[in-house]
Amino acid sequence: MNLNQLTIKDAKEGLQQKKFSSVELTKACLDQIEKHNKELNAFLIVCKDSVLEQAKKVDALLASRSEAWEATPLLGIPFSMKDIYSTKNVRTTAGSKILDNYIPPYNATVYQKLIDAGAILLGKTNCDAWGHGASTENSDFGVTKNPWNKEYVAGGSSGGSTAAISSDMTIFEIGEDTGGSIRLPASFCSTVGLKVTYGRVSRYGAIAYASSLDSMGPIAKNVYDAAYILEIIAGKDEKDATSSPNNVPNYTDRLNDNIKGLRVGLPKEFFGKGLDTEVKQAIDAAIKTLTSQGTEIVEISIPSVEYGIATYYIIAPSETSSNLARYDGIRYGNDRSSFGDEAKRRIMLGTYALSAGYYDAYYKKAMQVRTLIKNDFEKAFSSCDVILSPVSPTPPFKIGEKADDPLQMYLVDVYTVLINLAGIPSLAVPCGFSKDGLPIGMQILGPQFSEEKLFQIGHAYEQATEWHKQKPNL
């Protein structure tokens, strides 16, 4: 196996046992980026010189202090981040030409925690501008192509993130999820992606899309790595008033807990009209696997599902119309004419929903429905421990297939936006491939702060299957 294909766990063990150096590990990732990024367009910024310099310093430190791992659990491990995180002295664009030359003067909390843990930043990955999209086709810097078939989208808005992981350009990645932006591309690229409980991870220093929906989370090669990363980045942050003070468990310690007896809910609304046959077959097979491991299947109902897309596309554009008002050309250089079509569409939708005479009819009503959605999930969790559902109603679609039909693009998120509206966690895990060799993923949902349980079920499923081990033929 090439070094760039290693998981965090294997990379750390190899460094500790001096099987290879941090420079060798980092160079393997950089070589893969050099080899494949031109065709995939996963990375927008590559920190080639600085990352090798940091890797050299790590190797020198490890040569003199073997105990360095205790304080820096990711020491010498290269990673990448969706280009919405502020990274001091490293260009940050949010996929938009408005921030084409923006160099942040400070670090996002998530980034600071990772570099404090010893990880080294390879670069920043492509995304739909401002997080607006389900395919990365809305990036001002070009679409990211799916490593499994370059005629297809990688998903969005964190498409560059999952393409980078799937093609082994990086050891792990940090994405962001407002309505499915980690889980959808994770499903489309056959990687593991976690949308955390709202407030589990600090949003400080992340360029906001919709502040009450945004969630920062890991994208990884397996469930163990996702759990390991969350242990490091989760927790209360004084710089983010919405971050939770709840204790952060050692998620990896209980990964192997027996899942026998856990009740898995199947919402009937998620398995009806519009669900692709191949996706349903893959989910059905995953259900059989979990049943064979002792879980109990329970049919449940979430009646407010039908209102999810409408509610999301009132609340999210309303918040983004407010958040994007700051990009006025005075602070950041490029004026508002640099906004792309999708950003303009969402600004207009949001401004309209918040305007005098329409606020009560649209935004206020959407917030009331959001409460109903949250209540429906709470009721469902009274009869089951977790919920299983598809991530997307279809496998990945071709580049350009939905680009001219915004409504069809929005409907791609039909199974994911509800989770953000409810503020609960969701773990996306690979569960199969279509007959055309395109990835299919499932998501495991839980009550607020139940990430530990989601990891246990996801890990148990991984141990019984091989989907997460398959690699695209680049």
Annotated catalytic residues are: 82, 157, 181
- What span, in angstroms and rounded, lies between the C-alpha atoms of 150 and 398? 9
Residue 13, SS3 per DSSP: helix
Task: Give the torsion sign (CA, 213, 162, 224, 270).
Answer: positive
Q: Find the Cα–Cα–Cα–Cα dihedral 125, 130, 136, 140, rounded to 10°.
A: -90
Q: Are the beta carbons of 209 and 323 closer than 8 angstroms? A: yes
Spacing of C-alpha 35 from chain mean position = 24
Count other Cβ atoms within 10 Å, centred on residue 375.
12
Distance of CA 229 to the CA centre of its chain: 13
Distances (CA, A) of 325 to 176, 271, 318, 332, 433: 21, 39, 11, 12, 42
Amino acid at 158: S
Residue carrying structure tokens 């807990």: 257
* DSSP-derived 3-state class of residue 146: strand
The C-alpha atoms of residue 429 and residue 440 are separated, in whole angstroms, by 9
Q: Is 472 helix (H, G, I), strand (E, B) or coil?
A: coil
Say whether 267 sits in a helix, a strand or coil.
strand
Distance CA 306, CA 300 (A): 15
* 76: its two tokens: 């010498």
What is the spatial distance between Cα 427 and Cα 452, in angstroms, rounded to a whole number? 11
For 263-307, list the strands marked E by DSSP: 263-267, 296-300
Q: What is the 3-class SS of 26-83, one letter each residue?
A: HHHHHHHHHHHHHHHCCEEEECHHHHHHHHHHHHHHHHHCHHHHHCCCCCCCEEEEEC
